[in-house]
């Protein structure tokens, strides 16, 4: 197993029709030879955009990496957008 970089990439998908770019960035990082730990949070607005524009229907409670990039990945952690105690939250 690859050694992760000490600092993760934190990617927030916030909607406004840009979710495709964030999803592609996640996919590119996963496919790269580098060992990136990737933390993702998806807003309710992004979930709506994904459902309406990309036909990806999921929820903040059930979203998986597979929903975002089409394949599982052990390097990506999806954080619930309502979890103020998530590892990527301030503090």
pLDDT tens profile 4-30: 567 899 999 998 888 999 999 999 999
pTM of the model: 0.86
H or E element at residue 38: strand 38-42
Contact 38, 26 (CB under 8 A): yes
Return the closest-CA partner of residue 69 out of 45, 43, 90, 38. Answer: 38
pLDDT tens-digit profile of 47-85? 999 999 999 999 988 999 999 999 999 999 999 999 989
Q: Classify 58 as helix, strand or coil.
A: coil
């Amino acid at each position: 197993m690859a050694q992760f970089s000490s600092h993760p990439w934190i990617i927030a998908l916030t909607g406004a029709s840009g979710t495709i770019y964030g999803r592609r960035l996640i996919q590119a990082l996963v496919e790269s030879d580098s060992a990136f730990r990737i933390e993702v949070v998806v807003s309710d607005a992004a979930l709506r955009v994904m459902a309406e524009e990309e036909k990806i229907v999921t929820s903040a409670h059930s979203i998986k990496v597979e929903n975002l990039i089409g394949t599982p990945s052990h390097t990506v952690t999806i954080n619930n957008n309502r979890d103020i105690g998530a590892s990527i939250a301030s503090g």
